[in-house]
Structure 1
């Protein structure tokens, strides 16, 4: 039996994670993400899928972020009808996030039609809410540390990745005709000092490793998210401004609430209104009460306010309320999605806040190339929103200590757990030039056989096992 992988995404880019494995006659897809960022990447979402989706027997999902799940509705619409394997929190988060993704795409297509700024005469969404509903019956959920039979030749085990509620490192155990082999997909690895999530589980052996590379060549500054937030909030309020935080609705928003509540309790920042302007973030926050075993805070629904909420937290549920936030002038914090500023309610906040010198835009997560977030980090003087160039006069802060991704030192700390040398190591979910630096550092430190895969490249992993 031969085992081969084809890289359908997440190769040379941080988005679009999709790794197709042919294990004898069994075909599985690990992750099914949406390409984001640069236009040339986003256009790949519209390309014909490189292989017939109906030929795939199973999809295994590492976690719920859209760059790992966002293509699922399209895959099902184009013919996939197999099982989708993930943890229970991932399943619930996927339902929220994919519905939100569909809604945003439908709204954007409708807006482009009304305003006439699309090159297409009839702009259409990549998929609809109805398409999303079709994936729900296919989802099968499991806990960490269960051995799950997905085919007579393959089992999987999910381990805690510490990146997001329910995120998983996946061990793929292959039962060959002559020998057994193991493949480990790191998924996205979290931090070792996250106050809410557990640290990534240690894995000691594998034959092949797929290792994420998001911050593979970057060490985060001294870890002091509380100090960073304290300084930024107080400086902004001294200027009589507003703090605007584009945050990923799941994970980052809850972490921000945790720290802001702590700082207010300790009188390190004023106890001001914190507006959560993301319906998806509101829904996701309450999921933490349902899956206490997947995190360290271990709160129940009555304790949610004690665990995350500030005295003046405001959940913004209607569009009208969201627009009313434009009238705020000072002493407030607005958290809104999406985190990379590619869509959602954050856009109208950016439209109104970027020109204001008093305000602060606090960027708290990874920004893919081609996104508004990356443009702002690159100090662009204006950003295009709703077809208009909006001047950037506000203060832009980048707080890397709030990232949900392991940095270079943490990635190497995790890899150090392996007691035997993998036969092959693929650096995925990263961008150049960081990928090459990262791969070279792994080679130098561990003497591993490291491969930087290319988009749509196929590699034979095992021959005649």
Structure 2
């Protein structure tokens, strides 16, 4: 049996891990899109490194685009097997993938309208029809259910606490008369998440694929989210009379922001200004979360006793149409605009940043991880000039961040996640979903906990299990 790492290898995005049994059966763990990797992003998304038609089963840990975003392309290129996920993950994947197809087509059209001599025509990776076909291949599996995929492969999902529906994947595989247990963490959430339950413990594994996005960071030492959020809003909107522009993923981060702002209103601290969520997808994603209250932690359940809508508050408006979105540019009143994507690489947020980045009254607030090559990453790095839609803009607005607003666990959370394992029985830990320098530091922390073998796979690297 072999495993090959075709994405999120010494990088954070593009999750794809391919298990091949001795009889040729192939199991793909995630099929994510590369995001924010600069000029090589399109090239990375254009080739899988394996033949989609040869994959028998596909298992999806959760619905973030860097984990599910290339599923329609996989299907379009010949994958005809079953896609296994939790119920909420399928609900989210439906809206995210349809939105992804739409955004790709819109961005391609916009770029092609401003095509310069010698530049190639931009094409979308897939269409809405590809998405619809992909959704027909899903099969939902509940948490903590042992599901027999075939007589050699058994699957179990446990709650990873990352976003609604997110799961750690546990496979028991019988190959050449030997039973092997493989765990893929997906993305691991936090044990003090604003909204969700903590990650579950899981059965003993022989091999663990572990995400490592924040493998060298601690979140707990940072100031409380509500306090920092209020400070930035008050300074920008009430003192400078400007706008706060917040790039935020439609799933997870946007709902956390709304919950935090709702909490400020419950404490009578929220300023009397307009708050806009300019992302139709966020409206749908918020409804999915409302439809799955079983994922809420005890703190949220207590809040629900005094507030029956934890994602709504005075002054909040959801923006649907493009016309409404454009009209925000002409409104000079102080406000807060939350829009996707979180790395500021696509969607309406790029337009909002472009229209507000050159005004010193405004603040661009980053609230999560950004790949260093993404627009968000360049802003976080302090670049004074950035390119947006092929034009250069001087960064005059303030750039702030709330690093503790992450759906990813820090290194203590990740170590907690694997603490249910006997290190002596784990043959290998593979670190995925992280930058290489971070992974090297995190590898030593894992070794210090008694795990003897830790590998950091390279892109397309294959290992014998």
Q: What TM-score do the two structures reach when normalised by structure 2?
A: 0.94
1:32–1:61: 8 Å Cα contact kept in structure 2? Answer: yes
Counterpart position of 2:384 = 381
Q: Secondary structure at the match of 1:401?
A: coil
Structure 2 spans left out of the alignment, 5+ residues? none
Which of 11, 19, 22 does residue 21 from structure 1 map onto?
Answer: 19
Q: Residues 384, 40 of structure 1: CA spacing in aligned structure 2 closer, same or farther, 3 A cutoff?
A: closer
- In the alignment, the residues of structure 2 paired with residue 226 and residue 358 of structure 1 have an alpha-carbon distance, to the nearest angstrom, of 22
Q: Residues 119, 104 of structure 1: CA spacing in aligned structure 2 closer, same or farther, 3 A cutoff?
A: farther
Structure 1 spans left out of the alignment, 5+ residues? none
What does 1:411-430 align with in structure 2 at a 5 Å threshold? 411-421=414-424, 422-430=426-434
1:204–1:420: 8 Å Cα contact kept in structure 2? Answer: no
Counterpart position of 1:335 = 338
- In the alignment, the residues of structure 2 paired with residue 141 and residue 239 of structure 1 have an alpha-carbon distance, to the nearest angstrom, of 50
Counterpart position of 1:309 = 312
- In the alignment, the residues of structure 1 paired with residue 124 and residue 307 of structure 2 have an alpha-carbon distance, to the nearest angstrom, of 36
- In the alignment, the residues of structure 1 paired with residue 306 and residue 73 of structure 2 have an alpha-carbon distance, to the nearest angstrom, of 39
2:18–2:28: 8 Å Cα contact kept in structure 1? Answer: yes
1:289–1:304: 8 Å Cα contact kept in structure 2? Answer: no
Counterpart position of 1:318 = 321
What does 1:222-233 align with in structure 2 at a 5 Å threshold? 222=222, 224-233=224-233
2:423–2:452: 8 Å Cα contact kept in structure 1? Answer: no
> Deviation at 1:209?
0.5
1:215–1:430: 8 Å Cα contact kept in structure 2? Answer: yes
Counterpart position of 1:4 = 2
> Deviation at 1:303?
9.8
What does 1:346-365 align with in structure 2 at a 5 Å threshold? 346-365=349-368
1:274–1:310: 8 Å Cα contact kept in structure 2? Answer: no
- In the alignment, the residues of structure 2 paired with residue 119 and residue 346 of structure 1 have an alpha-carbon distance, to the nearest angstrom, of 28
Counterpart position of 1:453 = 457
> Deviation at 1:121?
4.4
1:35–1:41: 8 Å Cα contact kept in structure 2? Answer: no
1:377-400 CA-partner distances (Å, limit 9, x unpaired): 110112211221111111111101
> Deviation at 1:281?
0.4
- In the alignment, the residues of structure 1 paired with residue 127 and residue 13 of structure 2 have an alpha-carbon distance, to the nearest angstrom, of 21
Q: Residues 303, 76 of structure 1: CA spacing in aligned structure 2 closer, same or farther, 3 A cutoff?
A: farther
2:2–2:21: 8 Å Cα contact kept in structure 1? Answer: yes
Q: Residues 179, 46 of structure 1: CA spacing in aligned structure 2 closer, same or farther, 3 A cutoff?
A: closer
- In the alignment, the residues of structure 1 paired with residue 104 and residue 117 of structure 2 have an alpha-carbon distance, to the nearest angstrom, of 13
Counterpart position of 2:241 = 240
Q: Residues 430, 41 of structure 1: CA spacing in aligned structure 2 closer, same or farther, 3 A cutoff?
A: farther
- In the alignment, the residues of structure 1 paired with residue 406 and residue 29 of structure 2 have an alpha-carbon distance, to the nearest angstrom, of 24
> Deviation at 1:334?
0.7
1:251-301 CA-partner distances (Å, limit 9, x unpaired): 1001100000111221223132210100100111111222122333469x9
Q: Secondary structure at the match of 2:6?
A: strand
- In the alignment, the residues of structure 1 paired with residue 162 and residue 451 of structure 2 have an alpha-carbon distance, to the nearest angstrom, of 27
Q: Secondary structure at the match of 1:306?
A: coil
- In the alignment, the residues of structure 2 paired with residue 359 and residue 40 of structure 1 have an alpha-carbon distance, to the nearest angstrom, of 29
Worse overlay, 87-96 or 411-420? 411-420
Counterpart position of 1:253 = 254
> Deviation at 1:350?
0.3
Q: Secondary structure at the match of 2:314?
A: coil
Q: Residues 303, 275 of structure 1: CA spacing in aligned structure 2 closer, same or farther, 3 A cutoff?
A: farther
- 1:391 maps to 2:394: yes
> Deviation at 1:305?
6.0
- In the alignment, the residues of structure 1 paired with residue 408 and residue 384 of structure 2 have an alpha-carbon distance, to the nearest angstrom, of 28
- In the alignment, the residues of structure 1 paired with residue 51 and residue 177 of structure 2 have an alpha-carbon distance, to the nearest angstrom, of 30
Cα RMSD over matched residues?
A: 2.0
Worse overlay, 123-132 or 66-75? 123-132
Which of 367, 373, 387 does residue 370 from structure 2 map onto?
Answer: 367
Q: Secondary structure at the match of 2:404?
A: helix
Counterpart position of 1:147 = 146
> Deviation at 1:203?
2.4
1:58-116 CA-partner distances (Å, limit 9, x unpaired): 10000001110111111101100000000111101111111111111111111122111
2:34–2:45: 8 Å Cα contact kept in structure 1? Answer: no
> Deviation at 1:143?
1.2
Q: Secondary structure at the match of 2:332?
A: coil
What does 1:70-85 align with in structure 2 at a 5 Å threshold? 70-85=69-84
Q: What TM-score do the two structures reach when normalised by structure 1?
A: 0.94
1:45–1:71: 8 Å Cα contact kept in structure 2? Answer: no
- In the alignment, the residues of structure 1 paired with residue 45 and residue 12 of structure 2 have an alpha-carbon distance, to the nearest angstrom, of 18
Q: Secondary structure at the match of 1:289?
A: helix
Q: Secondary structure at the match of 2:230?
A: helix
- In the alignment, the residues of structure 2 paired with residue 403 and residue 230 of structure 1 have an alpha-carbon distance, to the nearest angstrom, of 18
What does 1:211-230 align with in structure 2 at a 5 Å threshold? 211-220=210-219, 221-222=221-222, 224-230=224-230
Q: Secondary structure at the match of 2:255?
A: helix
- In the alignment, the residues of structure 2 paired with residue 405 and residue 41 of structure 1 have an alpha-carbon distance, to the nearest angstrom, of 25
- In the alignment, the residues of structure 2 paired with residue 46 and residue 424 of structure 1 have an alpha-carbon distance, to the nearest angstrom, of 28
